[in-house]
Amino acid sequence: MAARRSLMSKSSATPRPSDTDLRWPSANPINEARAEKAAGLIINPAGHTTTSVAILDALLAMESPVVEVHISNIHAREEFRRHSYVSRAARAVICGFGINGYALAISGLASLLGAKE
């Protein structure tokens, strides 16, 4: 967490974490980010990666860049996990770096947004 805060302060971005652990796909945090005109969005769709058209639709409505993060390498997993609906709306995808993928996503999003690091 401290590393993420450090990265965020270097990028001059203000994070607004939204950790939802829902049993069904919810586009609410995405729609809130869009309504608030968030500069960008980092998402780990987890189990909804391969199933949620609702999340895809919400992400496609975003005008700012989206970075998709997966802790594991989804391409090294079962065949059905290799397709991501979210990737269609994502500007970048990071997978297989464990929780370090979040730091990479923050750095990458900051770079996409032109933040000085």
Every domain of the chain and the residues it spans: 2-15+31-112
Residue 82 has pLDDT above 60, yes or no: yes
Q: What pLDDT shows up at residue 4?
A: 44
On the CB side of 20, how many CA atoms lie within 13 Å of its CA?
16
Residue 1 has pLDDT above 50, yes or no: no
Model pLDDT for residues 65-77, shown as the tens digit of each residue? 999 999 999 889 8
CB contact at 8 A, 62 and 89: yes
> In which order are the strands placed within the sheet that holds 66-70?
41-43, 66-70, 92-95
Residues across the chain = 117
On the CB side of 25, how many CA atoms lie within 13 Å of its CA?
22
Model pLDDT for residues 14-58, shown as the tens digit of each residue? 666 565 554 445 678 898 999 999 999 999 998 888 888 999 999
Q: What pLDDT shows up at residue 18?
A: 60
CB contact at 8 A, 58 and 85: no
* pTM more than 0.85: no
Q: What pLDDT shows up at residue 23?
A: 46
Range of weakest confidence among 27-31, 60-64, 104-108: 27-31
Question: Torsion-angle region of residue 95: left (phi > 0), alpha (psi -120 to 50) or beta?
Answer: beta
Right CATH for 2-15+31-112 from 3.50.50.60, 3.30.750.80, 3.40.50.9100, 3.90.1150.10: 3.40.50.9100
Report the mean per-residue pLDDT for the chain: 82
